[in-house]
Amino acid sequence: MTALVLVRHGPTAWNELGRVQGSGDVPLSETGRAEVRRWRLPPEFAGYGRVTSPLCRATETAALLGLHDARRDPRLVEMNWGAWEGQHLDELRRELGDLMKAWEAKGLDFKAPGGESPREVQARLRPFLAECAVGGTATLAVAHKGVIRAVYALAVRWDMTGPPPHKLRDGCAHQFVLASDGTPSVARLNIALCEDAAP
């Protein structure tokens, strides 16, 4: 069994405005940089292998955490939201009404026009997870909400048609254990990176 720890990047201006980011290369905001500077990785993760999404909000988060040698892996990029990137999800729900509800009810198969579904994100992550497991080296990855949710859904067999069994908090690390084939299971969720983080 091999440990995998996932950390979401710090906040961006689009996060603060409620815009859909997806695979767009949006940098951290000044507020986001200040927040990440307060984060401290638990000492137990010090010897872990380091990897990051190549998107700048993830690479900058990794650098601010002191993970300057983290390798970049394109399989860790955020889910592609296609035509909806940059738009407000609440506005899309108002504009599309029942059609949006029907799409969101698809859970793992929900996909924006020209975008990617969570199931497709899982498909591109599976080889990454398998490689981590085969290598046998505990790994810490800086990634994105959609990536973390995709791994979590695999771990707990959540089909994403309703609320997740556990809330995945930002500003936290989420630890999984990988079986020999890369299949994840939950070890610990919501490991606070700030002393004053909400429980």
Query: 90: domain CATH number?
Result: 3.40.50.1240
pLDDT of amino acid 143 = 98
Identify whether 9 is a catalytic site residue.
yes
Active site residue 78: yes
What is the three-state SS of the chain? CEEEEEEECCCEHHHHHCECCCCCCCCECHHHHHHHHCCCCCHHHCCCEEEECCCHHHHHHHHHCCCCCCEECHHHCCCCCHHHCCCEHHHHHHHHCHHHHHHHCCHHHCCCCCCCCHHHHHHHHHHHHHHHHHHCCCEEEEECHHHHHHHHHHHHCCCCCCCCCCCCCCCEEEEEEECCCCCEEEEEEEEECCCCCCC
**Per residue in 42-67, pLDDT tens?**
999 999 999 999 999 999 999 999 99
Residue 197, pLDDT score: 47
- Residues 35, 60, 78, 116: which is the catalytic one? 78
Q: Is residue 95 part of a domain?
A: yes
Residue 198 lies in a domain: no
- Domain count of the fold of the chain: 1
State the residue range of the domain holding 18.
2-192
Whether 199 is in a domain gets the answer no
pLDDT lower than 50: segments of the chain: 197-199
Q: Which of 9, 85, 116, 174 is labelled catalytic?
A: 9
